[in-house]
Amino acid sequence: MDTLVAKYSRSPYEDEFYSEQQQREMTECLPPLSLKFDLPPIENPSAFLRAMTDDHANPNAPIKLAHGTTTLAFRFKDGIIVATDSRATAGNWIASQTVKKVIPVSRLDLVTDKPQDAPVPGLLGTMAGGAADCQYWLRYLAEQCTLHEIRHKRRITVAAASKILANLTYAYKGMGLSMGTMLAGVTPQEGPALYYIDSDGTRLSGNLFCVGSGQTFAYGVLDAEYRYDLSTEEALELAKRSILAATHRDAYSGGYINLYHVREEGWVHHGFMDTDPIFWKTKLEKGEFTNVTADV
């Protein structure tokens, strides 16, 4: 590090044929140098990246950073519940604890003087896989949906939006995309509609989906307690507990619980909640997570 700093802190004219006085005068005319360097947040970056391959001994093996998350969505009688965690990982390194993995996909009505808790018209998309791939293609999909709504003067259906995204990802199949997303919305033509789309071009419609490394733990809670006739309060609580179970057991999931309720009028955000107080409240009130024995 000292060698690196010395290299960039010396005068750029030292290698030229200038006298010391000339070097000093020319250096004083330059803006001050900033010795702040953006460095990787790990001790040995090359060793870290070398471990993230299929063959550690092969110097030409492509780097494959493991991604982890937990996202879920399910239909019920009053709409659709969408919930995610907020942890982003690159291999065994936690890159962020505050990623917002739910992205609004289309909203033709952009009135800004509505109450804070008023529904926002449009569809919601979730992120799982590579964050850059998901963010880019969901925002591109939002552009296409907005153009559709401007041309036809009505909201796009969830089926049509999901078909656009599936066609896009299929065109790039085998090129390294990493996506597993869900599209949720309620339209007059379809009612509550939920679709799963991935980077292979797969497109599925269903009542309940979980995507990500923590999906098996979330499915364990959802499969046991999911019913179509859940009340809104019960549905929100079920989604919260499902994400909580995944963050407790899956090392690649964690951070906060992001909760949404999608209705025909639009979606409503129900909070970006820290998992820690929810965990202890659930443990004390419901007697769950009995493997944790720490005093509270």
Active-site amino acid positions: 69
Structure tokens at 279: 């965990």
Contact call for residues 275 and 97 (beta carbons, < 8 A): no
Q: Where are the alpha helices (DSSP H) in the chain?
A: 2-9, 20-28, 45-51, 131-152, 158-171, 215-225, 232-249, 275-286
Task: Give CA angle at 291 (287, 296), nearest 5°.
Answer: 65
CA–CA dist 176, 164 (Å, integer): 19
Report helix, strand or coil for 164: helix
Q: What is the dihedral of CA 187, 75, 138, 159, to 10 degrees?
A: -50
Can you give 62-129 as a three-state secondary structure string?
CECCCCCCCEEEEEECCEEEEEECCCEEECCEEEECCCCCEEEEECCCCCCCCCCCCCECCEEEECCE
